[in-house]
Structure 1
Amino acid sequence: MSMWITLVEAPALATRLGAPSLVVFDCRHDLANPGLGLEAFAAGRVPYARFLHLDDDLSGTKTGRNGRHPLPDPDAFVALMRLHGVSDTTQVVAYDDSGGMYAARLWWMLRWVGHEAVAVLNGGFAAWRNAALPISTDPPLPLPPGTLVRKPGVATVDADTLLAHLHASDMRIVDARAADRFRGENETLDPVGGHIPGAVNRFFRDNLAADGRFKPADELAAAWQAVLGKATPAQIVCQCGSGVTACHNLLAMEVAGLSGARLYPGSWSEWCSDPARPVALGSA
């Protein structure tokens, strides 16, 4: 049976629903209304799906200095996945209704703890609904505990490392936020506007076609090659406001065949919490 490691289409997922080797997670969320995802889950979801909350399940404890969505302890995250029935042989699929904005966070986190068989439903819940596939309101069935083992996974970069490499030729920072926030305009989520000096802007929604699905791999590759310039994928560090939409850019790079980029989990919300760190404004 094939393993999905980036994206999966709705009809393909439908053929494997109910298989003991598959766990589907609903990651729907709204930053302005954190309870909306669970409400949407209760109103209708992919059959057999289980709900994960961005703030409660896919983030750790905030200190005021580690960003709005710090990573949880990796062992605690592995334990949570086991409670949901995930083992080393489990195919995980994540979806949302925001173009993969939140599902990509779970995709990246599982790769962070060394689990390869994880994919995002391309087009999310809208693609599932538009394909006239079944929608459930039944409570999720209990699953036997999984046996997922934490293994070495994708790497991260911290603020001190970024600070030491600002403007260096061996590291290129890519910011996934909208262009106005990158420039320091219309900032409503964080107390300081602007971006990390030397960063370039690649809005995560530019990875998507008009129907909310990811653009074809060759189209993504061409666009991302322009972002990389002379840098290799391994020299790329992706960040955003809080380490969530940066994962969308990392997923797009994987779809494009450009593996090896890293995440700065704390992202802008962590960076700007220390007034000693430099801030850039404008488009450069």
Structure 2
Amino acid sequence: MNDSVVVTPDWLAAHREDEQVRIVDVRDAWEYDGIGHIPGAVSIPFDSYRDESDVDRGTLPGADAFADLCSEAGISPDDTIVAYDDTHGVFAARFVLTALEYGHADVRLLDGDYSAWNREYETTSDAPEVEPTDYEPDPLSREESPLVGYDAVAEALERGALFVDTREQHEFEESRLPGAVRFDWREVVDDETRRLKPPAELEALLESYGITPDREIVLYCNTARRISHTYVVLRALGYEDVAFYEGSLTEWLANDGTVETGPATEDD
């Protein structure tokens, strides 16, 4: 697993006091304060970097709003960010995606979550002293970004790209993009350790669904939260041709895109 994308608790324990490592806890503020957090972590709750008002593509908060969050948290563009939550990393992965979109070069997901960390390492209820910065975002261009919109998705369907639906079975059967493969994002997580399964196991699992590095892959769910986790995992495994449908099924349906319903057949 590429540690420039996903880091283990051991890695974080060894590097958390490094000058340029910034740990971001994306749980609710009451969890950060009341349950405890990883020493040195700052609180940037999930709702603070998600905006439903269409200020940017999908639920992205906008570059200025993201910069304000980073500035208040004492984060600089050159810092290494490690994000975590307590939900197997799905909310933290959304932070990773958001930071990458706004040009933060080095942002990583903690393999596991707060509970996984807490099994081996100390936690604290003390918030670190933070010196605000003047964070300058550098958003990716449309050409650089993995995010795609309705028109690009329609073109990818015509090309025969592999569409991966990371939602639950009942959602998939209710409505899905034509020919999509359902891959529950949680399948990559070991329920006992709360961490990702070993790379070889992950690769075999993905291959069993036809999700292989040689395919053009387009990820979607409902509102682009769950696909954030799958996107980060695929990047960590070295997948390169992976598009991220930020509008997901919400946008597709709003534009009257063609869908399939019911159980998938063998031909799907």
Residue 204 of structure 1 and its aligned partner are, at CA, apart by 0.1
CA drift at 1:236: 0.9
Equivalence for 1:188: none
Paired residue for 2:183? 202
Instruction: Output the CA distance in 2 between the equivalents of 1:124 and 1:196.
Output: 31
Identity %: 26
Residue 138 of structure 2 aligns with an amino acid whose one-letter code is: R
Aligned to 2:32: 41
> Residue 102 of structure 1: CA displacement?
0.5
In structure 2, the residue matched to 1:258 is 239
1:63-212 maps to which residues of 2 (within 5 A)?
70-133=59-122, 135-150=123-138, 152=140, 153-166=144-157, 168-184=158-174, 194-210=175-191, 211-212=193-194
In the alignment, the residues of structure 1 paired with residue 80 and residue 238 of structure 2 have an alpha-carbon distance, to the nearest angstrom, of 21
Which ranges in structure 1 are unaligned for 5 or more consecutive residues?
Answer: 29-36, 185-193
**Distance in 2 between the 1:148 and 1:228 partners?**
40
Partner residue in 2 for 1:278: 258
1:131 is aligned with what amino acid? E
Root-mean-square deviation (CA), in Å? 2.5
The 5 A counterparts of 1:221-236 are: 221-228=203-210, 232-233=214-215, 235-236=216-217
Q: CA deviation at 1:199?
A: 1.6
Change (3 A) 1:38 1:20: same
Deviates more, 1:242-251 or 1:147-156: 147-156
Match of 1:12 in 2: 11
- Report how far residue 126 of structure 1 moved: 0.8
> 1:280 offset after TM fit, Å?
1.5
Structure 1 distance, partners of 2:260, 2:63, is: 32
The structure where helix makes up a greater share of residues is 2
CA contact (8 A) 1:224 1:253 kept: no
The one-letter code sitting in structure 2 at the alignment partner of 1:174 is V
- How far did residue 105 of structure 1 move? 0.7
SS of 2:254's equivalent? Answer: coil
Match of 1:219 among 182, 201, 215: 201
In the TM superposition, what is the alpha-carbon distance from 1:22 to its structure 2 partner?
Answer: 1.3
CA apart distance, 1:94: 0.5
Distance 1:220 1:146, change over 3 A: farther
Quote how far apart the aligned CAs of 1:121 are. 1.3
Q: Is the 8 A contact 1:242 1:267 kept in 2?
A: yes
Corresponding residue pairs, total: 258
Q: Aligned residue for 1:189?
A: none
Cα deviation for residue 229 of structure 1 reads 5.5
Q: Which residue of 1 aligns with 2:219?
A: 238
Shift of residue 230, structure 1, vs aligned partner: 7.3
What is the match of residue 47 of structure 2?
A: 55
Classify 1:57/1:230 alpha carbon distance in 2 versus 1 (closer, same or farther; 3 Å): closer
Q: Tell me, yes or no, if the aligned pair for 1:52 and 1:58 is still in contact at 8 Å.
A: no
- Output the CA distance in 1 between the equivalents of 2:41 and 2:59: 25
1:238 alignment partner AA:
L
Check conservation: 1:25, 1:49, Cα contact below 8 A: yes
Structure 2: runs of 5 or more not aligned: none
* 2:172 partner amino acid: F
- Deviation, 1:48, is 1.8
Counterpart amino acid of residue 92 in structure 2: A
Look up the equivalent residue of 2:13 and give its one-letter code.
A
Q: Which AA in structure 1 matches 2:37?
A: R
Bigger shift: residues 223-232 or 124-133: 223-232
1:148 CA drift (Å): 4.6
CA distance in 2, matches of 1:181, 1:126: 28
Q: Distance in 2 between matches of 1:157 and 1:227?
A: 23
Query: What's the CA shift for 1:264?
Result: 0.7
